[in-house]
Amino acid sequence: METLACNFHSVTFNLSKFSNSLFSKFPLHQVRYSITPATTLSLRMTHSHSSQNPVIEQQRVIIPNKHGEKLVGLLHETGSKEIVILCHGFRSTKADRTMVNLAVALEKEGISAFRFDFAGNGESEGSFEFGNYSKEADDLHSVIQHFCEANRIVCAILGHSKGGDVVLLYASKYHDIHTVVNVSGRYDLKKGIEERFGKDFMDRIQDGFVDIKNKKGVEYRVTKESLMERLSLDMHEACLKIPRECRVLTVHGSADEIIPVGDALEVAKIIPNHKLHIVEGTVHAE
């Protein structure tokens, strides 16, 4: 079994039929490398692109969200006016292999990319919360506003796993981005709770919260309020609110053991301007 992060090279269909701009050159087929994320403030790298050798610079960027929390990200600057925003999944960060691989693949196409930590994750300020889908969509809005004010064109937003739900929610709430890529997002947010936390979880959380522990102690806390926020989100209703002029691509692994491929099929039934690609034999890769 390969992970979805390592098997994007299977996505070799003609994306130009789906879009005349970004998707015609969206480099999903290149996302198959293991890249170590940069830890320095600025790292310059050289990649070949056609007959040229553009210099790529990774810049640490700090953007305040509407709550005043600092969101920390890395800009893969190629000099392009267009930029793609990458959104990580649950208990993940901008340093996740999927995020790094996508950013590097976009670099090779000469497209700038920005990967960042949602509030309460990675280097960003704020407290981690289990649900937080709506707040993360607002974090994404803050990021997009930052680059628009810097005279950049945010040509696409891409989210993996929980990030896939966030970009769909964003498209349903803010109608300013016309290309959205949902990678392994969940359609039914009521599912996955028992699988992750146990069948008695709903009974245990009635006291107000449950601490999720690992070998080192408490890993994170799930509050009843944050759980209810997730359970109250209706992705079907959200997808119906995505305007027709917004192009949505869903990519999902056929052997996804975390979020079944059936979720991608449900999303495909609802969104009018939608393209679905199933990557055979691949799992989730959180």
What is the per-residue pLDDT across 58-112, written as a single tens digit (0 to 9) for each?
999 999 999 999 999 999 999 999 999 999 999 999 999 999 999 999 999 999 9
**Residue 142 falls inside a structural domain:** yes
Range of the domain at 110: 59-188+234-279
Distance between CA atoms of residues 207 and 275, nearest Å: 43
pLDDT at 21: 37
Higher-confidence residue of 31 and 212: namely: 212
Question: Band of the pLDDT at 237, cuts 50, 70, 90?
Answer: very high
**Residue 69 falls inside a structural domain:** yes
Q: Are 60 and 72 in contact (CB under 8 A)?
A: yes
Distance between CA atoms of residues 127 and 271, nearest Å: 33
Distance between CA atoms of residues 111 and 97, nearest Å: 19
pLDDT at 116: 98
pLDDT at 219: 84
CATH number at residue 79: 3.40.50.1820
**Residue 78 falls inside a structural domain:** yes
pLDDT at 7 over 50: no
Whether the CA torsion 76, 78, 79, 83 is positive or negative: it is negative
Distance between CA atoms of residues 89 and 116, nearest Å: 11
**Residue 156 falls inside a structural domain:** yes
Low-confidence winner among 27-31, 124-128, 229-233 (lowest mean pLDDT): 27-31
pLDDT at 60: 96
Q: How far from each other are the two terminal CA atoms of the chain, in whole angstroms?
A: 14
Distance between CA atoms of residues 235 and 241, nearest Å: 10
Q: Are 67 and 137 in contact (CB under 8 A)?
A: no
Q: Are 148 and 154 in contact (CB under 8 A)?
A: yes
pLDDT at 103: 95
Number of neighbours of residue 165 by Cβ within 10 angstroms: 29
Higher-confidence residue of 196 and 182: namely: 182
Work out the mean pLDDT of the chain and round it to a whole number.
Answer: 82
**Residue 206 falls inside a structural domain:** no
Which range is most confident: 14-28, 176-190, 193-207? 176-190
- Domain total in the chain: 1
**Residue 35 falls inside a structural domain:** no
Q: Mean pLDDT over residues 105-123, rounded?
A: 95
Higher-confidence residue of 190 and 32: namely: 190
Q: Mean pLDDT over residues 224-247, rounded?
A: 94
Tens of pLDDT, residue by residue over 149-188, are: 999 999 999 999 999 999 999 999 999 999 999 999 999 9
Q: Is 217 helix (H, G, I), strand (E, B) or coil?
A: strand
pLDDT at 41: 32
**Residue 240 falls inside a structural domain:** yes
Higher-confidence residue of 88 and 28: namely: 88
Distance between CA atoms of residues 123 and 158, nearest Å: 20
What tokens appear for 148 in the block?
A: 């628009």
Bridge-partner residues for 154, per DSSP? 83
Which range is most confident: 6-20, 34-48, 223-237? 223-237
Q: Is 219 helix (H, G, I), strand (E, B) or coil?
A: strand
pLDDT at 24: 42
**Residue 247 falls inside a structural domain:** yes
